[in-house]
Structure formats: structure tokens, C-alpha cells
Amino acid sequence: MTLIYQSLSVLGAIYFLRILNVSRGLVMISFSFFALVIIIQRVWLFHFLSKRVGDYLKKKVIIIGNKGIADSLVSSFTKHPELGYQDFEYIVTDDFADNNLKLNLNELLAKTPDEIYICYKEMNMESLDKLILFGDQNSIKINVVYDVISSRRGRRFNFDDLPIVHLDSQPEANRKIKILKRSFDVLFASLIMLIGSPVFCAVYLITKLTSKGKAFYKQERIGKNGKPFYIYKFRSMYVDAERLGPQLSKENDPRITQWGMIMRKTRLDELPQFWNALKGDMSIVGYRPERRHFIEEIAKKSPEYQRLLSHKPGITSLGQVHYGYAENVDQMVERLRFDLLYFCNLNLQSDVNIILRTVKVMVQGKGR
């Protein structure tokens, strides 16, 4: 319609003001032809999207809740086949609560839905939280009919007159911030590895000469979406330091070499992690990645930790600069609130501030 209005304005000016030396009849014929081409193009495009793209983007949808609301939603879906909402299943219940819904999440996962729509006039928020977390962990979109819920934050869109909101267990950073953050990670990591190459070489040689074993150390950590990856460090402990099982480092830890203590205080042992950032396993700023053993222990005390796993871990973090190193699970839980706060207010300015504070810790030798 915008193109038609603009064309009508231009051709109207030509017609009435005689800006160009052309006949009025030719102007009318030109406009009529242009309008006809636009209409034919739109009809063909809609037909193509409905028949071809709709099949290509076909999605399996499960609708849970009030049948009246669900029927209205399906009616809207059928008007827009180009969106791929063609395969849907009802789970009709009158109340959204654990004791009434009796929804087996494993059975729901077995149905392999792409999206789940929740349609209720009243909701049990505890049950909703569980379903949202379930969606995050299994890459299933959880959507709620917007006018039946007001206490959550999400991305709103519409099907005809029905407003819908897509929910996550935490606000999702917009695409622009994600692209900027990744670009910043690649640029910053590349510069550090290039400019800091003499420091890398010096730390490598000193580590190799001051204790037996390899200079580099790798350990499996859990990253974005719960996927394991290998984190790289300069070795700061004696070989076989964890032969008795996973242990957190503590003050005056006898497993740490003398040179390793210096590296930890200045955080030089973490320089190889810029390679992890360049590969995409980590970000420059995020949350510190943990081993699966400790994640399970943290999650028992604070299930909110699962929210972090929808993001990349970082070389440094808000929790690390504000709280410091955690020596036990209870301290990890306390530090968690800082990292959750960081992801609720994601922006590049906060990344730069955290990096500057990390440099200050390195210069002052207050790392551990």
C-alpha cells in the first residue's frame, strides 16, 4: 500500500501540475498498469508463500489449555498457512496447576513439538516456570496468549486479533547486541593473541621450566546449552593434582606451584582462553564455566543456575570481579546472583567496564 500511495502522489502531481510534458491519459494508463502489476505480484507471492514456504517451514505445535481460546488460535493459524502452523495437537485442561494438569514433561518431549502454546485465563506461576525452563532446555518455544498473563516479560507478536508473547526463563538479548558482542569477542581476542604473543611465549617457557609436565592444561567444562568443551589454561598445579577427584582451589592450596601462584594472582594462567573465545566456545565476558560435577551441586541449591546455560561462558564475569573466587558450592551460589544480573542488563558498555575491572585485579595481583 505504501508503494501505491507514493506512486499516486507522484503521478497525481504530474497529472494536475503538468510537471512533465505528457498527456493525462498516459499518466492514468501508467498508474493503472502499475497498480495492476503490484496486485498480481502480491497475489502470486501470497500463493507461493502459502503453498511452498508453509510446507517448508511446517511446525508441530501443541496447544495446552482452554478449548475456546485454543479454537480461536487454530482459526487464526489456518488463515496464515505461510507461517507453517499446520500440524497441531490439543491438550485440553481447565486449570494450569501441578495437581490438576498432571503434565508428564517426558511424554510431552516424546511428541517432539517445535512450539507449545498455553491458553488459560488463570495460571499457576510455579507450573509455568517449570514449563518455561523445560522449553529452554529442549529448544522448544513456549508461547502464551498474551491477554491471559501480565507478570512475565517476552517478545510480543500477533495472529489477527490475538496477541501472543514468546517467553524465556530470562529476557533474551536482542540480535543486534548478540552480533556486536560476538564481533567484539573476535576482535578483542585476536588483538590480545597478536599483541600479547611475547607474553604468551614467556609464560609458556617459565611454566615449562619451573615444574614437570606440559605447559598447557585442558579440562572439560560445560558451555552454552549444556554442551561440554575443553577450556585451555597455562598449568598452575602439579601434575595429577586431582587424582582424588574434582576439587575447588583454596587459599594456600598445596597443589599449586610457586609460579602457578603468581600466574593465578595476575590471571596469566587464563590467557589461553582467548583461543576459546576466538573459537566461539566462550565469550570475553559471561559467567565462569564449571565442571558438570559442580553444576549439579549448584543446581540442587539454586535451580536458577540453568538460566546461565543459555549463554556462552566468559573469560571474566561480573561475579568474578564483584565477588571473587569461590572456594565451595555455597559461595558459587552467592556469586550466581551477580552473573544473573549481568545477563538481565546485557550491553557492550558493561562488558568494557568488567574488562577494565579485571585488568585492575590483574595489575594489583588480587586474583586467585
Q: For residues 183 and 127, which has the higher predicted lDDT (pLDDT)?
A: 183
Residue 2 has pLDDT above 80, yes or no: no
For the domain made up of 60-167, the CATH class stated in words is alpha beta
pLDDT tens digits along 308-338: 998 999 999 988 888 878 888 888 888 888 8
pTM of the model: 0.54
What is the share, in percent, of the chain residues with pLDDT greater than 90?
20
Nearest Cα to Cα of residue 352 among 181, 103, 193: 181
Tell me the CA distances in angstroms from 280 to 182, 223, 275, 277, one per residue in order.
Answer: 8, 10, 9, 5
Tell me if 154 sits within 8 A of 148, measured CB to CB: no
pLDDT number for residue 152 = 44
Rounded to an integer, the average pLDDT of 113-117 is 86
Domain boundary assignment for the chain: 2-54, 60-167, 175-364
What is the share, in percent, of the chain residues with pLDDT greater than 70?
67
